[in-house]
Structure 1
Amino acid sequence: MIALTTLGLSPVGDEVGRIVLAAALGMFLGIEREWSQKSAGIRTFALLSLLGAVFTLVEADSLLVVGGLLVIVQGVLLAAEGFRDEAAGLSLTTSVSMLVAYGVGALVMQSYILEGVTVAILSSLLLVLKRELHSFAWGLSRAELRSATEFAILAFVVYPLLPAAPVPVSVGELSLELELRVAWLLVVTVAGIGIANYAIVQTYGGRGIAVTGFFGGLASSTAVVGTMLDHVRQRPAAASYALAAILLADAAMALRNLVIAIAFTFERGILYQSIVPLGAVAIGSVAVAAYTADWTESVEMELDSPFSLRNALVFGGIFLVVLVASTVARAQFGTGGLYLTALLSGLVSSGAGTTSAVLLYRGGAVDSNTATIAILLATAASIAVKAGLTIASPDRRFAVRVALWSLALLAGATAVTLAVIL
């Protein structure tokens, strides 16, 4: 919890501050409803948040429940009116939003400041992005809907069933502890990134090379390379933006690995060392893409279904093999064995190599410098694979340009890494 007393306020000032914040968040929620000319607008939402705050302040649970029931009744009346005047779904949205505003006021008054602000912001985004969300939902194919369902099973059914405590595992004479929940959460994170950016590519992919390359790279960097090879084969003049798309896919991959390295290392100590080298790859790739690309071109990408349970399990299996291999290699051959494993795993999946290094670091098996080098090696191997795939292009000059720029990026990232570590 985050209380306003941390700002030096007295208890009375703290309560008054929370009341003001509750009203402000209610107004924030009501802005979109007011702009959409609904029957409940900015004043109604502010008053509902204040009502939740006041009923919470008097510490009477029964009164708080009665207030919630009154908000529900008012929402039902608005929904009934909506059946006569407009589409029922819109009135239902307003009714539910009113209950959310009431809940936000109660959260803030109980000193759940961060939680209340988060709920208000997310709710406002759902209201503002109405058209985009409806358009996305209506445009889903049966395969995409099935993918979303499988992802929900992966994220919300399997995860709670896994043991929260680390599980000891013996590999020969070696023993290690696997954090199965963290490992599965990493798998879910990678799959979730792919789904989110699949949606973005499907919506905006044809509008520009930046979206196609970068977000396509997050969804499937191999798809980006394959698409660019097809375009270069059909149109040799497309080589400039094809090069940019591949480099932007590299930037997306490096950024994804950086997110994994930062988001999952809070408990042990954030891997700050990874920010500079992976950031150098991402920024360098974007800079080269901006220099080489013909920004007037656009590309339509054909991506497969964004997610499948089979692909997730395959990634999880690869990740588990890489983790065990990294542990065994480090025990038998020292850090050199870990580096070799990271390099080889990056040829298949830089995400698997990155997550393995992160978990080894979390478990205390390796230090921050060793984990950073392993992540960079996995990232470098992935960049090299994408450059190697361009050999299939009939345009040898295009393949050479991709290889040279990729080599320059790797050299720059390596130099930056050594400078940071040493």
Structure 2
Amino acid sequence: MEMLEAFQRIGLALAIGLLAGIERGWQERDMADGQRVAGIRTFALVGLLGGLAGYLGLIVGAAVPATLAAGLVAAFIVFDYKAAAPHNDFSVTSVIAALVIFALGIVSVTGDMRLAAAGGVVTTVLLAARHSLHGFLKTMTWVELRSALVLLTMSFVALPLLPDRAIDPWGGFNPFAVWLMTVMIAALSYAGYAAMRIAGPDRGILFAGATGGVVSSTATTLSFARISVSEPALARKLAGAASIAGGLSLVRCFVIASAVAPVLAKPLAFALAPGLFAFVVASLLLSGSRGHPKADLHLSNPFELWSVLRFGALLGVIGFVARILVNVLGPSSIVFIALVSGIPDLDAITLSTAHLAGNAVPVDTAAIAVLTATVSNLVTKVALAYGSGTRDYSRLLALVTLGVVLVGGAGFWAFLVLLR
């Protein structure tokens, strides 16, 4: 190792220690001198010690870094115990943090500097987020914790065990791809649920519609319809919130389709962007009415295992049937499949169609299928609104949906006729 590179790497180790030391010193800034076990200077020296240990390890072997690490841990334990004993406030965080900074100092010299720098930032963020993380744990329910554990199990236990290939003779069912898409949709839904859980419905109906639209725009529309029965005066505001939920369903559709098949991004953008604009304008116009709801928007936990398995089964069946029918009847059959599949759920048919786009199905046909499913889903929401909500709420939502379909259709026509 050249001397200039050695200085750069050891300097990075020192910088990592300084970064963590600033956070530790800030946390203990109100303590008197002599009561702080480790602050900015100590952690800076720990990082520097780790860098020097890594440099020496390259010269004389691993025995020196190991000995220094053992001595560092012993010293921190002794001093931390003496500082905590009078206050009966014991914590191993500082000891672990010092050991991590020491290890990152070694990585700075002997490994990838980018990994070491990222590790230093992540470590400091975790140390600084103490109060936020503890507060989050105090408010977390068992259902939410269980849902998070299900997500982790789905992602890191079940997914790697599935074969990443079609297991049927027709090439229509890939267990890995189906489960990966299921995990992606579940994670997206849980993110929306978490946003709603943290901010709460007291931020207003419009915010509830936005966060609810990420979870499930259909469920949100139905929930607002029921609220409109008990609060008829809020029909306009509820229709505005349902409109923003519908707009986010278009965003969700575009993100999913373009992530799986980037070739769909351009044709879908010409249809979905005008539709989103119409939804947003309608939402702003309708949500300006006065009043506050007496009922809250109740969103079910999106991560119940049964609902996840049901969605995975639906996705697998639609993907398999779509592949078979496309092979037998031709690419145009995907449009009819989308028309029917979009009634109960938009995500599954969007994913299935995106997987076929540009391969078994032409890009334009795939785009038409996704948009057909979108229109089918929007009309379904209007039907649910008429079945469960007031006349004003349903009528306003129907007018907004009609406008969205018209401007979206015009945008897609412009793409097909003028830009081809």
Fold-level similarity (TM above 0.5): yes
TM-score (structure 1 length as normaliser): 0.80
Unaligned runs of 5+ in 2: 30-35
1:186·1:260 contact (CA, 8 Å) conserved in 2? no
Q: Relative to structure 1, is the Cα distance of residues 33 and 319 closer, same or farther in structure 2, using a 3 angstrom cutoff?
A: same
1:157 aligned counterpart, secondary structure:
helix
Q: How big is the shift at 1:160? A: 2.0
- List aligned pairs for 1:338-417, cutoff 5 A: 338-361=334-357, 364-393=359-388, 395-417=390-412
Deviation at residue 133 of structure 1 after TM alignment: 3.0
| Distance of aligned partners of 1:410 and 1:113 in 2 relative to their CA distance in 1, 3 Å threshold | farther
The alpha-carbon deviation at position 402 of structure 1 amounts to: 0.8
Give the CA RMSD over aligned residues. 3.5
Q: Give 1:243's aligned residue.
A: 239
The DSSP-based 3-state class of the residue aligned with 1:365 is: coil
Which stretches in structure 1 are left out of the alignment for 5+ residues? Answer: 1-9
Matched, 1:288 2:282: yes
Deviations 1:107-160 (A, max 9, x none): 555664554455445444444444443333223333333333333322222112
The 8 Å contact of residues 208 and 295 in structure 1, kept in 2 or not, is answered as no
Q: Secondary structure at the match of 1:392?
A: helix
Greater gyration radius: 2
Q: 2:146 aligned with 1:139, yes or no?
A: no
* 152 and 234 in structure 1: CA distance in 2 versus 1, 3 angstrom threshold: same
Task: Tell me how far apart the structure 1 counterparts of residues 277 and 336 of structure 2 sit (CA, whole Å).
Answer: 26
What SS is found at the alignment partner of 1:347? coil
Q: CA 1:105/1:307 → structure 2, altered by over 3 Å: closer, same or farther? A: same
Partner in structure 2 of residue 166 of structure 1: 165
- Alignment match of 2:333 (pick from 333, 337, 349): 337
For residues 121 and 177 of structure 1, do their structure 2 counterparts lie closer, same or farther at Cα, with a shift above 3 Å needed?
A: farther
Which whole-Å deviations, capped at 9, do the CAs of 1:226-275 have from their partners, x for residues lacking one? 3312221122221232122212222332333333334445xxx5754245
- 2: CA distance between counterparts of 1:110 and 1:418? 59
Deviation at 1:184, TM superposition (A): 1.3
Q: Does 1:34 align with 2:25?
A: yes
* CA separation of 1:187 and 1:12: change in aligned 2, threshold 3 A: farther
Contact 1:284 1:409 in 2 (8 A): yes
Alignment of 1:14-413 (within 5 A): 20-21=11-12, 23-37=14-28, 39=36, 40-56=38-54, 59=58, 60-66=61-67, 68-70=69-71, 72-73=73-74, 76-77=77-78, 80=81, 81-82=83-84, 84-85=86-87, 87-88=89-90, 91-107=91-107, 109=109, 112=112, 115-116=115-116, 118-163=118-163, 165-170=164-169, 175-176=170-171, 178-206=173-201, 207-264=203-260, 271-273=264-266, 274=268, 277-294=271-288, 297=292, 300-361=296-357, 364-393=359-388, 395-413=390-408
Separation in structure 1 between the aligned mates of residue 176 and residue 364 of structure 2, nearest angstrom: 25
Distance 2:374 2:41 in 1: 52
Separation in structure 2 between the aligned mates of residue 404 and residue 182 of structure 1, nearest angstrom: 38
Hey, what's the Cα distance between the residues in 1 that align with 2:165 and 2:79?
51
Matching residue's letter, 2:375: A
Residues 143-196 of structure 1 deviation map (CA, whole Å, 9 limit, x = unaligned):
333333333322222112112x313412xxxx2164432321221121122223
Cα distance in structure 1, aligned partners of 2:6 and 2:285: 55
- In the aligned structure 2, how far is the partner of 1:114 from the partner of 1:396? 60
How far is the alpha carbon of 1:317 from its aligned partner? 0.3
* Identical positions, percent: 27
Q: Please state how far the C-alpha of 1:87 moved relative to its aligned partner.
A: 4.4
The letter of the residue matching 2:137 is A
1:327 Cα shift?
A: 1.0
Letter paired with 2:384 = L
Cα distance change, pair 325–124 in 1 and its aligned pair in 2 (3 A)? farther
Residue 7 of structure 1: aligned partner: none
SS in structure 1 at match of 2:200: helix
- Aligned length, in residue pairs: 402
Per-residue CA deviations over 1:278-323 (Å, capped at 9, x if unaligned) read 4554454334323321387466322223412111110000000111
| Alpha-carbon contact 2:13-2:105 (below 8 Å) kept | yes
Q: Is the 8 A contact 2:250 2:276 kept in 1?
A: yes
Q: Deviations over 1:85-117 (max 9, x none)?
A: 4644xx433443334444444555566455445
Counterpart-to-counterpart distance in 2, 1:393 and 1:340: 28
TM-score for both structures, normalised by structure 2: 0.80
Residues 237 and 270 of structure 1, relative CA distance in 2, 3 Å threshold: same
Instruction: Describe the shift of the 1:292–1:48 C-alpha distance in structure 2 as closer, same or farther (beyond 3 A).
Output: farther
Distance in 2, Cα, partners of 1:290 & 1:115 = 46
CA displacement at 1:324 relative to structure 2: 0.9
Letter in 1 for 2:390: D
The one of the two structures with greater contact order (alpha-carbon pairs below 8 A, sep at least 6) is: 2
> In the alignment, residue 93 of structure 1 is paired with which amino acid?
T
Whole-angstrom CA distance in 1 between matches of 2:277 and 2:99 = 44
Residue 420 (structure 1) shift: 4.5
Pick closer, same or farther for the CA change 1:100–1:262 going to 2, 3 Å.
farther
Distance 1:139 1:117 in 2: 33
Is the 1:205–1:300 contact (alpha carbons within 8 Å) kept by the matching residues of 2?
A: no
